[in-house]
Amino acid sequence: MKLVDPSGKEVTSKENKNAKELEKQLSKHIEKMLEPVFNKIKLSGAQVPQEQLMQLSSAAHQMLFNRMIYNLLLKVGVKDLGEVLSEDDVEELQTSLSNQLQFVDPSKMQEMQNQQNPKPDGKG
């Protein structure tokens, strides 16, 4: 979580007790959101891949942030997202998101999948 001081300089959670407390509160809410999912997994006796658990956690985090922002916007009386989100913001984030994408050659992708999931006969 990033917080900034009044001058706009970033304050890390190592330096800021308030940020640590907010992170702790956020973690508790995320755990509470995920509890029924984890209980369902335990009761079913199924195995869930670590990657899927990370996706669930990320989704819970995103949902919680979206709700917090929605509630905050209502509280301060924002009626149009244009008041808090410009087209420049969207374009900047679009570029950032696009830069995170990595392209893999299809043949290398198949090779990676074969290494991760070898065939039962042992002939990769």
41-71, pLDDT tens digit by residue? 899 998 888 999 999 999 999 999 999 999 9
pLDDT at 1: 55
Which one, of 37, 88, 83, 84, lies nearest residue 59 by Cα?
A: 37
From CA 1, how far away is CA 29, in angstroms rounded? 15
pLDDT at 63: 95
17 — pLDDT class (breaks 50, 70, 90): confident
Which one, of 97, 118, 115, lies nearest residue 107 by Cα?
A: 115
Q: Please tell me whether residue 4 adopts helix, strand or coil conformation.
A: strand
For residue 3, the cross-strand partners are: 11
Domain boundaries, the chain: 3-116
State pTM to two decimals: 0.60
116 — pLDDT class (breaks 50, 70, 90): confident
pLDDT at 12: 66
